Amino acid sequence: MSRVASVLQAALLLFSTHLSAAVAIDGAAIAASDQGGDWLAYGRSYSEQRFSPLKQINDGNVDRLRLDWYLEMPDSRALNSTPLVVNGVMYFTASQSVVMAVDAASGALLWRYDPEVITRLANRKHMRFNWGANRGLAFWKGRVYVATFDGRLIALEAATGKEAWSVQTFPLDETRYITGAPRAFNDLVIIGHGGAEAGAVRGYVTAYDTATGEQKWRTYTVPGKPADGFESPALKEAAGSWRGEWWKHGGGGTVWNAITYDPLYNRVYLGTGNGAPWNQQVRSPGGGDNLFLCSILALDADTGEYAWHYQTTPGENWDYNSAMDIVLADLEWDGKPRHVLMHAPKNGFFYVVDREDGRLLGAEKFGKVTWAERVDMKTGRPVETPEARATDGVSVIYPGFLGAHNWQPMSYNPDTGLVYIPYQEMAAEYDKRGIDSERWRAEDFQMNTGFQPYRGDITPDDVSSALLAWDPRRQKPAWKVDLPGFQNGGTVTSAGNLVFQGTSSGYIHGYRADTGRLVWSFDAGVGIVAPPISYAVNDKQYIAVLAGWGGASYIGSTAMAQHGWAYGAHPRRLLVFSLEGKAEPPPTVAPQTELLIVDNSEQVIDTAQASAGQDLYLPRCLGCHGVAAVSAGGAPDLRASAAAADLDAFGTVLRSGQLQARGMPLFDELSDREVEQIYWYIRQRARESL
Ligand code: CA
């Protein structure tokens, strides 16, 4: 860094210190719909509408939108975060829970805080689920709050990035992890965790004192072992909806994404996760609703006590977590104004729920759904189709486990009355054959679903996606724009009659919010999954987005790899646009659509060993190296890896942990024979891919 730049940054730091001290960001500020150009919380305001009232950039002039500045992020891979903007400073998380503060008008770096997640997780199995994804931050009274993958909740001084306090929210011998953003309200900061596929996990959220980090309350989302007593009457009652010895599997219900604070009723709404494991015959043999899985769970914000719940998927069996964002709005319903929440979970139904008491007002399919015919509005329960639950065999169901909508946030525009949903369409196969539901047990940090792992590839023809504008009052689509690929970014909408979204194919598009007409595009040169934001500094409006392919797309397959965002090949950036932008767009690297497969044509593939190797590969490797050993950029494609083609080198990488600093976990439990079996599976896949 040049001397001039560091002097400039020191001056900016003093300036921001001054501003942060002058303006206390509290609940009244976050609740406000007009935040003076700022973006103060994950979903902008407590409503999580992701609606910007700014209209300097609008449908009449958006064709003049240009790159204003950008920040190269060479240390990052997956970028999923929603930036915050407070008093002219932008705060966001990069990969591996790193927090950055930059001047929101110039992009000058103010500070960077690295919680050193990979160092802390050295030799731990947590690395096997660590894509580096983190979705964002909370801001409260001069401090920024980040939750790290290894389970710390850390308070940082916004002015300096210095640690104020840090607490561990779960013991590191548990198979939990965090990718989500904390939320702050009433001098509390709340966080959940993920891990329902990683082991026998029982979900909870915890609220801490923002000043000290002291734990104030913790609420579990599913009942534990009855002999140990229940933490609340609500959990005691919930236990009646479970069968067998569910607690041995943890039950699941992790709150890994959606937490919405409602200042009107002083409640938090949790979007609870899927079962651990998915297969209900294993988890709760004999059925039952399995409360509070796949639910909106409303809690008193001061105490964490149960207020009400609405379960979107009773007896969940398909990974249909309700962890997708929960948006608050005032809607006219049956001629009466109502305070509602809106929710489009994985299961493919769009729900409108009265926040006062949790009563279901509307539930209609927003895409292809084959597990249920409809939701019965008298009972509030889905009417399942016969194919939804094969009792013994295979069912192929829409949506699949990645959902009709995933964590990528939707946005709501009160002017158009429309919700902009990143829609996606893919089936999944749920195969119970050969699963012994009595003896099945989770293995730490493997893919624990209670179903057979999927063995084939997923092709581009198997997936589709769209930007869907949904009318929540009429409960039907207003317009829809088909997009190539799968796993596009979250959305932002504005009073300028605009919607912006990044795509898996590497573009940022702007649309008219009322009609869906494409009015602006920018080639970002890398797939985007993060949601854009809009903010203003000195009366100048900006659109910002983190461009960095990563997240569940790393599960791979030919469908996810189709855009050619290969591991380590494409730059990660923060891109910021304005009507006065004059920055030269940085060079892009062509997508890598041709793969240089490594194969020795004289080598005879040992197919028996390869078959055994596939069984070892699937639960351990597919999360990063991909379904059918087709990488979508989360890690090197092993079919094109020289190291994977050399049995000795391959064994060393797996069992020495020598590449842990680059994200490759340690697999020291594998025997010589098992290493060789995985080696043969990769050799077979390489040969088949020629
Ligand atoms: Ca899940």
* Ligand 1 centroid, distance to 324 Cα (angstroms): 11
* Ligand 1 centroid, distance to 604 Cα (angstroms): 39
* Ligand 1 centroid, distance to 257 Cα (angstroms): 11
Cα-based distances in Å from 539 to 51, 164, 682: 18, 33, 56
What is the C-alpha to C-alpha distance for residues 77 and 132, in angstroms, rounded to an integer?
7
Structural tokens at position 71: 């920040």
Judge whether 482 counts as a catalytic residue. no
Does residue 650 have a cis bond before it (omega within 30 degrees)? no
Looking at the chain, which residues constitute the CATH 2.140.10.10 domain(s)? 3-493+503-578
What is the C-alpha to C-alpha distance for residues 665 and 368, in angstroms, rounded to an integer?
37
Q: What share of the chain is helix, strand, coil (3-state, %, to 5)?
A: 20, 30, 50
Say if residues 349 and 421 touch (Cβ distance below 8 Å). Answer: no
- Tell me the per-residue pLDDT of 80-132, one tens digit each, with 9 for 90 and over: 999 999 999 999 999 999 999 999 999 999 999 999 999 999 999 999 999 99
Amino acid at site 647: L
DSSP conformational letter for 468: E
- Counting residues of the chain whose pLDDT is more than 90, the rounded percentage is 95
- Tell me the per-residue pLDDT of 403-429, one tens digit each, with 9 for 90 and over: 999 999 999 999 999 999 999 999 999
Tell the residue number behind the tokens 């195969």, with chain if given.
Answer: 431
* Ligand 1 centroid, distance to 37 Cα (angstroms): 35
* Ligand 1 centroid, distance to 227 Cα (angstroms): 28
Q: What angle do CA 84, 571, 543 make, to 5 degrees?
A: 35
Could you tell me how far CA 583 lies from the centroid of its own chain?
A: 31
- Nearest alpha carbon to residue 567 among 643, 485, 663, 484: 663
CATH class of this structure's domain 3-493+503-578: mainly beta
Structural tokens at position 12: 């900016």
* Ligand 1 centroid, distance to 448 Cα (angstroms): 10
In this prediction, residue 360 carries a pLDDT of: 98
* Ligand 1 centroid, distance to 262 Cα (angstroms): 25
* Ligand 1 centroid, distance to 611 Cα (angstroms): 27
Q: What angle do CA 154, 35, 13 make, to 5 degrees?
A: 50
Grouping H, G, I as helix, E, B as strand and the rest as coil, residue 384 is strand
Strand arrangement, sheet containing 267-271? 259-262, 267-271, 295-300, 306-311
Its pTM stands at: 0.96
* DSSP code per residue over 234-255: HHHHHHTT--SSGGGG-EE---
Kindly give, in sequence order, each residue whose CB lies less than 8 Å from that of residue 451, ignoring residues fewer than 6 positions away: 277, 278, 279, 430, 431, 432, 435
In this prediction, residue 460 carries a pLDDT of: 96
What is the C-alpha to C-alpha distance for residues 279 and 177, in angstroms, rounded to an integer?
22
What is the C-alpha to C-alpha distance for residues 369 and 386, in angstroms, rounded to an integer?
13
What is the C-alpha to C-alpha distance for residues 58 and 482, in angstroms, rounded to an integer?
23
Active-site entry in 150, 262, 289, 319: 319
* Ligand 1 centroid, distance to 271 Cα (angstroms): 12
Looking at the chain, which residues constitute the CATH 1.10.760.10 domain(s)? 607-688
Phi/psi at 188 (5° precision): -120, 150
CATH 3.40.50.300 fits 607-688, yes or no: no
* Ligand 1 centroid, distance to 194 Cα (angstroms): 8
- Sign (positive or negative) of CA dihedral 306, 309, 314, 319: negative
Show the low-confidence residues of the chain (pLDDT under 50). 1-7, 10-11, 14-22
